[in-house]
Amino acid sequence: MAIGDVIKKYRKKKGMTQEEMAACLGVTAPAVNKWERGNAMPDVAMLAPIARLLGITTDELLAFRVELTDEEINQYLSKLQKDLESKDFPDVFLSAKEKMEEYPNCEKLIWQAAVILDAKRMTTELPDEGSYDSVIFGWYERCLLSEDERIRNQAADSLFHVFFRKEDYEKAAQYLEYFSLENPERKRKEALVNSKTGKRAEAFRAYEELIFSGYQHIQMTLNDLRILYMEEDDSEMAEKLVQVSSSAAAAFEMGKYNEICYGLEVAAWEKDAAWTARLMREILGCLGTIGDFTKSRLYQHMTLKTVDSDFAADLKRELMKAFEDETFSYMEGNEEWEKLKEDVRS
């Protein structure tokens, strides 16, 4: 929308005539008429007074809107993708550029439109392909200044991949600074760069650390979810999550102990005597495998602390206390449980 159209729209909304507006601004009525008809532009010094008079911001006066709704953004992006399928890229690009200029502060729109146009540019033969770089990269760079961490990360991710594809690994690595140190994507991308720049040992170690920490996060999440289902009295899902935890421990080569230990809490909650006795015997029998993950080739580039015999002995003592714990009072008189107690004590 041209500035004249904006002035006319909000002047009428205020219920003012051109003459009344002119009197308030200290200009002539013909001057206001010329603005609205697009025959002249207000002096720069007049922009703030006009905006104040109309009750809008200077951005709105200049047809700049800070944001679009998510629905409006999605509608535009859908149209942009359809246009790219049916129209020439240069024409669509120019139209999108005008849209970005109309909404220079709508970071979500800018980033997503840039991604769509960048992807299309890479799959389209263009005689002057490089001429679009400065504009698209400029949109990404603008989003790096966003107060929204998600948008910053997305823009940094896009720029990382742009320069990674160009094999400019040094430049690509610079954009990792926009990711927090706790973000696993930063570590994964650092490993990618290291794998291409002769630092393969560092790359192997980083990937293995991501696998190891990822496993721990998975098990903590499964445990929390399992507890939630137990609070809902859903034994079927609680048992299913025990199976998933066991499968995850096996897949990540964490050792036999870690494959079977997760069921004991659910067995006690269900007061399943047969399952409890079987699990306790299996757990006590494989305490020596609690540190087997340190032997796995999945983590061969990591420096993992070995589990000493004292830790296993301490764990065994803690498990033996369970025989006297009220939690397992339902096991009193169970033949297998009593036999297991005798075996342990002997």
pLDDT in tens, 192-221: 999 999 999 999 999 999 999 999 999 999
Across 280-299, average pLDDT: 91
pLDDT confidence bin for 332, thresholds 50/70/90: confident
pLDDT confidence bin for 340, thresholds 50/70/90: confident
* 175 has a pLDDT exceeding 60: yes
267: which residues sit within 8 A by CB, 6+ positions away? 275, 276, 279
Q: How many helices (H) and strands (E) does the chain have?
A: 19, 0
Residue ranges per structural domain of the chain: 3-61, 70-196, 204-345
Per-residue pLDDT at 66 = 56
Per-residue pLDDT at 325 = 79
Across 236-257, average pLDDT: 96
pLDDT confidence bin for 273, thresholds 50/70/90: very high
- Gyration radius (Cα) of the chain, Å: 33
Q: Which two tokens stand for residue 308?
A: 């000493």
**Residue 323 to residue 340: CA distance in whole angstroms:** 9
15 class by beta-carbon count within 10 Å (0-12 exposed, 13-18 middle, 19+ buried) = exposed
pTM of the model: 0.73
* 64 has a pLDDT exceeding 60: no
Identify the weakest region by mean pLDDT among 113-117, 218-222, 297-301, 332-336.
332-336
**In the block, residue with structure tokens 């020439």:** 88
User: Is the alpha carbon torsion for 253, 258, 260, 262 positive or negative?
Assistant: negative
Identify the weakest region by mean pLDDT among 34-48, 180-194, 304-318.
304-318
Q: Which CATH class is domain 3-61?
A: mainly alpha
Percent of the chain with pLDDT over 70: 98
Q: Which CATH architecture has domain 70-196?
A: Alpha Horseshoe (1.25)
Per-residue pLDDT at 61 = 81
The angle subtended at Cα 264 by Cα 258 and Cα 265, nearest 5°, is 115
Identify the weakest region by mean pLDDT among 179-188, 271-280, 331-340.
331-340
Across 75-102, average pLDDT: 91
**DSSP for 290-324, written as a single string:** TTGGGG-GGGTTS------HHHHHHHHHHHHHGGG
**DSSP for 181-234, written as a single string:** TT-HHHHHHHHHHHHHTT-HHHHHHHHHHHHHHHHHHHHHHHHHHHHHHHHTT-
Smallest CA-to-CA distance from 315 within 327, 304, 307, 303 is with: 307
* 67 has a pLDDT exceeding 70: no
191: which residues sit within 8 A by CB, 6+ positions away? 202, 203, 206, 207, 210
Average pLDDT, the chain: 90
295 φ, ψ (degrees, to nearest 5): -95, -5
Identify the weakest region by mean pLDDT among 57-66, 189-198, 251-260.
57-66
More reliable by pLDDT, 329 or 319: 329
pLDDT confidence bin for 156, thresholds 50/70/90: very high
| Domains 3-61 and 70-196 agree in fold | no
Per-residue pLDDT at 205 = 97
Across 126-144, average pLDDT: 85
Per-residue pLDDT at 79 = 95
pLDDT in tens, 11-54: 998 999 999 999 999 999 999 999 999 888 888 888 899 999 99
316: which residues sit within 8 A by CB, 6+ positions away? 284, 287
